[in-house]
């Protein structure tokens, strides 16, 4: 499986197996470099492909499936209209959890920006997860986001902090999107990802957590992949009750790009 994922060289490749415990399917996910316990868009795409192939039966406007993964159970709701799949939305397999906060200077060096361009009013560079951890970094403005570049020696230095340095950068926007983002994971075999569902799902929980003023439902429209010429639009949602983030979700539209056959020796 790892060799196939490396050959495809996509951000992630999924492998689908019969369920081990009575759920819809068992799913394993690989980047070109390693297996990961959870990811967002691979689950959305896998649900779309299975539904499109008739593997899930009749949708009848809405169907929720459950995938078994290393991080836990991932539910994906498939929405259909006029016989066509409109969108898929997943619920993260784990509760929002926080890891260490990293030195601004160290993270800034890894993404080739000035430490003063990293925003720390809400949170510093921090490891956060709902099934797959990322380092979340808020930047000052769009020009800084666009200038950010991978500095491999800086990413390697981050590993000394005992974290997997998959770094999610974001700014707050007001141009038709609520958030603009990028994600660098060069040590996972992903120099830059055009749409990172797991990270954006986590961001929804992160922002809801730090919004001390209210509970209830939160939603963000997020742009990612613009700087690499592969723009994506994501809708991230969170539910918060009594000051605690209960649920995080990510979804969007999906299309079939290609299909084929792999021949193995």
Q: How far apart are CA 140 and CA 224, in angstroms?
A: 17
Please report, for residues 79, 98, 237, the alpha-carbon distance to residue 253 in angstroms, rounded to integers and kept in the order given.
10, 29, 15
Per-residue pLDDT 10s for the chain (265 aa) are 999 999 999 999 999 999 989 999 999 999 999 999 999 999 999 999 999 999 999 898 999 999 999 999 999 999 999 889 999 999 999 999 999 999 999 999 999 999 999 999 999 999 999 999 999 999 999 999 999 999 999 999 999 999 999 999 999 999 999 999 999 999 999 999 999 999 999 999 999 999 989 999 999 999 999 999 999 999 999 999 999 999 999 998 888 989 999 998 7
The pLDDT of residue 218: 98
The answer to whether domain 2-91 and domain 97-252 are alike in fold is yes
**Torsion angle defined by CA atoms of residues 25, 74, 264 and 49, in that order, rounded to the nearest 10 degrees:** 80
Q: Where are the domains positioned within the chain?
A: 2-91, 97-252
The pLDDT of residue 34: 96
The pLDDT of residue 152: 98
DSSP 182-240: EEEBGGGTBS--S--HHHHHHHHHHHHHH-TT--EEEEEEEEESTTTT--EEEEEEEEE
Catalytic residue among 7, 12, 55, 69: 12
The pLDDT of residue 255: 87
Fold of 2-91: Diaminopimelate Epimerase; Chain A, domain 1 (3.10.310)
Please report, for residues 14, 49, 101, 262, the alpha-carbon distance to residue 259 in angstroms, rounded to integers and kept in the order given.
14, 10, 42, 10
Q: What are phi and psi of 232, to 5 degrees?
A: -130, 150
The pLDDT of residue 229: 97
User: Is residue 12 flagged as an active site residue?
Assistant: yes
The pLDDT of residue 83: 86
Residues 6+ apart with CB under 8 A from 95: 130, 245
* Predicted model pTM: 0.94
Q: Which CATH architecture has domain 97-252?
A: Roll (3.10)
């Amino acid at each position: 499986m790892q060799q196939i994922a490396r050959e495809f060289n996509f951000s992630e490749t999924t492998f689908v197996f019969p369920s081990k415990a009575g759920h819809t399917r068992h799913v394993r996910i690989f980047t070109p470099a390693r297996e990961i316990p959870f990811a967002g868009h691979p689950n959305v795409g896998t649900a779309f492909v299975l539904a499109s192939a008739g593997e899930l039966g009749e949708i009848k406007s809405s169907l929720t499936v459950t995938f078994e993964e290393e991080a836990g159970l991932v539910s994906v709701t498939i929405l259909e209209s006029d016989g066509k799949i409109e969108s898929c939305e997943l619920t993260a397999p784990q509760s929002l959890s926080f890891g260490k906060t990293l030195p601004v200077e160290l993270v800034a060096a890894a993404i080739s920006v000035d430490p003063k361009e990293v925003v720390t009013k809400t949170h510093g560079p921090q490891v956060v997860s709902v099934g797959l951890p990322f380092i979340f970094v808020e930047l000052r403005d769009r020009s800084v986001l666009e200038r950010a570049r991978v500095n491999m020696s800086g990413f390697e230095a981050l590993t000394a902090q005992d974290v997997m340095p998959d770094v999610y950068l974001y700014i707050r926007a007001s141009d038709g999107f609520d958030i603009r983002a990028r994600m660098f994971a060069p040590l996972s075999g992903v120099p830059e990802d055009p749409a990172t569902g797991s990270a954006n799902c986590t961001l929804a929980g992160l922002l809801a957590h730090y919004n001390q003023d209210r509970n209830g439902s939160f939603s963000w429209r997020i742009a990612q992949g613009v700087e690499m010429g592969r723009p994506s639009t994501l809708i991230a949602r969170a539910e918060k009750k009594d000051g605690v983030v209960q649920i995080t979700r990510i979804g969007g539209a999906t299309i079939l790009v290609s299909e084929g056959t792999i021949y193995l020796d």
